[in-house]
A and B are shown apart, each in its own frame.
Chain A
Amino acid sequence: MNKGTAPHTLNFDTGWAYSPAPESTDHVHIKDQYKLFIGGKFVAPKSGKYFDTINPANEKVLARVAQAGAADVDRAVTAARDAYDTVWSKMKPAERGKYIYRIARIIQERAREFAVIESMDGGKPIREARDVDIPLAAAHFFYYAGWADKLDYAFPCRTPQSLGVAGQIIPWNFPLLMAAWKIAPALACGNTVVLKPAETTPLTALKLAEVIEAADLPPGVVNILTGDGSTGAAIVNHDDVNKIAFTGSTNVGRIIQRALAGTDKKYTLELGGKAANIIFADAAIDQAVEGIVNAIFFNQGHVCCAGSRLLVQESVADEVIAKLKERMQTLIVGDPLDKNTDIGAINSAAQLERINAYLELGQEEGAEMFQCGDKKPSKGYWCQPTLFTNVAQSHRIVREEIFGPVLAIQTFRTLDEAVAKANNTQYGLSGGIWTDKGAKIFSVGAKIRAGVIWANTFNKFDPTSPFGGYKESGVGREGGMHGLSAYLDLH
């Protein structure tokens, strides 16, 4: 059969187009200025400094948020320590659980507001914020609330004990969800928290502070500090912090690990990735193409576990690439608040610059670039979905994490070659296998050195499932029962 090289192509360019379907923002309340959330109250930063957070889709300022300095971090850690010593560590576990359930329920009740703010502050499509980020964040709180009084059952014959104050630093790609990943298990295990959201996406964390107020948590159990890298460094280096949980780039992860060397702080690091999505010739091709799209274009590719490398078996490569290119023409890039948008705005000017540098680099390296559509809004940060073909394992666009909607496509001939290429990376966070053969899923899955392997699907998340990396993709596991041990001393 003549596959892929067919001269017959489809037209997705003209004709019936979807009218704009913007999600309403009327119900959303964003203050002009946000202070720091310390000891159960919003307090002005001692630094006196504030910075803007903008909407990356139109570059408009959404709010001014406080810049926490070292003195503010100290205040927050002190508040967290007090809350730990006087209330939280002494509370009956079942009572702790009730507070966490309450947070989960309030998030669900305010889901629409959270979804809209997440989309405005971070640039992600409202469809994803609404269907993925916010429901999953609530689900994490629900899940860990249930563990609060069952820790003895999670670790039979051992004595799980809370650690104390957890310093948590989260990234900008899934702001509320990452806050949930961090806060929920920490609280369930009896720790108190100082959390710093990313500089470009602080708003849903500040909204979460409102939820925590509404849930009537004892003051100081959760403290939320906005700021930049220096705020994060102050948290990491604070003497009275017992545990650091970080999600972000491998480079910052290295700095943190260095800073923690010689201290007795526990840590978990969830870092970068360059996952291989492997398509075997016997896969259900149409569904695999959908999986490729979901793997790399979900959240504009700002996903640490994104399937940013495609390995496709040579005999079906032409067909897969041709179908992928046609599928990409139906992706709608634009206003993140439009319910039909598939690909929103790039999170920040700096990230867009990084991605663009890789687009240039890829072409300089001799790879063939394919993009579709050029209707970018005039304001804001945008990147069209991009494919690179004719790439080799030695290309930097194959080796380095781009963190954008950019896919590098390579081919392979045999199963062993696919496995070798998939593993030939400094990272090991995730991977995908597409085949109709169950046995192949298990044999390849066992050979890929990555924390999460998806079979015939991609980017599926669930609070019950542990998540974390091999190699330079991180240390420790978050989520599931495994995520509990990161916040406990086990005697």
Chain B
Amino acid sequence: MTAPKPDHLPRVDEVGVDERVARFRSRSIKKASKVEALNLVLSQIDLTTLEGQDTPGKVRQLCQKAMRLHDTLPDIPHVAAVCVYPMMVEEAKKALGASGIKVASVATSFPSGMAPSDVKLEEIKLAVGLGADEIDMVISRGKFLEGKYQEVFDEIVACKEACGDAHLKVILETGELGTLDRVRHASLLAMQAGADFIKTSTGKIQPAATMPVTLVMLQAIRDYYYDTGRMVGMKPAGGISKAKLAIHYLVMLRETLGEAWMSPDWFRFGASSLANDVLMQLQKQRTGIYQSEDYFSKD
């Protein structure tokens, strides 16, 4: 298979994208629809800790939170997955047990991707071997910007193969790609190479996820679905810490890809602090008053 060339790609008009996003943000989501959205957001969170200072203890805490978000709120879902470094996969797997929460591991020399291909593949195999259900890889942005699309493509193909049964999320690191045209190109390239999910960012580079970037990626997913019938998932990551913003993402998802994507199987939020704000909003919907953030566990 060959990588798609930029000349043959759909064009993106940044001004138009911003205007469309403004329309999503003007949707007013209240009452029952808000509660439904908040619950959906919770169920779509990849609760994440990706820091140099991570320890097994920290990961265990995070897994506890993932399983018991806020026990005083009845009938709330658990998050979709816990996202950690490969070294923490085993610990997370053990802590989550049979909860149904997936373990996602970043790999391929996250976040820079600056390692030889065989090292990256080994890392994926290691993480999968330790029990990772999902692999979040980064593309080689340098090669992409150099125009070596085929190399980027081939690497993703190889990573997908190394994943075996694990799901592959491909991080484009859109903050380093520069233009929405390139975001669109990289999205298509990743999907054609076999990505199960495409993901905006590592969270280590600013800007991380934005609504315009996510919209362009959703439109790429939609066109790829039109063409092939294969659904690809979407994961905006980094910078989404407020429930209101997350709901606007859901509005955008709903009005771009429709109902089929409105589930943790096809849409995830990569976030660490989003869950607590969503919980606070849910509590507010139930009781009519905001509680202090000290009522919600910080892990």
Q: Which residues of A contact B (CB under 8 A)?
A: 1-4, 6-8, 10-21, 127, 131, 282-288, 290-291, 322, 330, 339-340, 436, 456-457
Contacts and interface: CB of A to CB of B under 8 A. Distances in A.
Contacts of B20: 287, 290
Interface in B21-36: 26-34, 36
B16 A19 contact: no
Contacts of A339: 26-28
A10 B260 contact: yes
B146 interface: no
Contacts of A18: 27-29, 33
Contacts of A456: 13, 15-16
A287 B259 contact: no
B100 interface: no
Contacts of A286: 10, 12, 16, 219
A315 to B, nearest CB: 13
Contact of B10 (A8, A13, A285, A330): A285
A341 B141 CA distance: 41
B143 interface: no
Interface string B1-25: 0000000001111011101100000
B262 A16 contact: yes
B5 to A, nearest CB: 13
Interface residues of B, number: 35
Contact of B255 (A14, A19, A330, A457): A330
**Interface residue SS majority, chain A:** loop
B13 A15 contact: no
Nearest to A291: B16
Best-surrounded residue of A2, A21, A286 (most CB of chain B within 10 A): A286
Nearest to A5: B226
B227 A1 contact: yes
A16 B17 contact: no
A32 to B, nearest CB: 31
A108 B125 CA distance: 62
A283 B12 CA distance: 8
A6 B226 CA distance: 5
B178 interface: no
Interface string B209-233: 0000000000100100111010000
Contacts of A290: 16, 19-20
A285 B26 CA distance: 23
A10 B32 contact: no
B114 interface: no
A8 B19 contact: no
A131 B23 CA distance: 11
Given A287-B13, A287-B20, A291-B16, A16 B259 contact: yes
A372 B271 CA distance: 37
B229 A8 contact: yes
Contact of B26 (A16, A127, A288, A322): A127
B254 A16 contact: yes
Contacts of A322: 226
Nearest to A127: B26
Contacts of B15: 287, 456-457
A18 B11 CA distance: 31
Contact of A19 (B13, B30, B219): B30
Contact of A436 (B11, B219, B226, B262): B11
Contact of B17 (A3, A10, A11, A287): A287
Given A16-B33, A282-B11, 9 more contacts: A2-B226, A6-B226, A288-B16, A291-B16, A339-B28, A340-B28, A436-B11, A457-B15, A457-B19
B59 to A, nearest CB: 33
Contacts of A19: 29-34
Highest count of chain B CB atoms <10 Å: which of A15, A288, A330: A15
User: What 8 A-B pairs come out closest when comparing CB atoms?
Assistant: A287-B16, A10-B258, A21-B28, A284-B13, A15-B259, A6-B226, A339-B28, A19-B33
Nearest to A332: B27
Interface in B219-270: 219, 222, 225-227, 229, 250, 254-255, 257-260, 262
B37 interface: yes
B37 A16 contact: yes
10 contacts: A10-B225, A10-B258, A12-B254, A283-B11, A286-B10, A287-B12, A291-B16, A339-B26, A339-B27, A457-B19
Contacts of B137: none
B40 interface: yes
A130 to B, nearest CB: 9
A12 B256 CA distance: 9
B106 to A, nearest CB: 30
Given A19-B32, A19-B33, A286-B219, A14 B11 contact: no
A229 to B, nearest CB: 37
Nearest to B26: A127
A165 B146 CA distance: 68
Contacts of B250: 16
A6 B30 contact: no
Contact of B30 (A4, A8, A21, A284): A21
A20 B30 CA distance: 8
A184 B37 CA distance: 45
Contacts of B12: 284, 286-287
Given A18-B27, A287-B16, A2 B33 contact: no
Nearest to B37: A16
Given A12-B258, A127-B26, A286-B219, A17 B10 contact: no
Contacts of A16: 33, 36-37, 40, 250, 254, 259, 262
Contacts of B258: 10-12
Contact of B227 (A2, A11, A12, A340): A2
A340 B28 CA distance: 6
B227 A6 contact: yes
Nearest to A10: B258
Contacts of B36: 16
Nearest to B219: A286
A6 B37 CA distance: 30
Contact of B11 (A3, A4, A6, A284): A284
B28 to A, nearest CB: 4
Nearest to A17: B33
Given A8-B225, A10-B222, A290-B16, A284 B10 contact: yes
Nearest to B230: A8
A3 to B, nearest CB: 7
B37 A457 contact: no
A3 B226 CA distance: 7
A131 B36 CA distance: 28
A285 B186 CA distance: 18
* Residue picked from B11, B19, B219, B225, most chain A C-beta under 10 Å: B11
Contacts of B255: 12, 330
Nearest to B215: A286
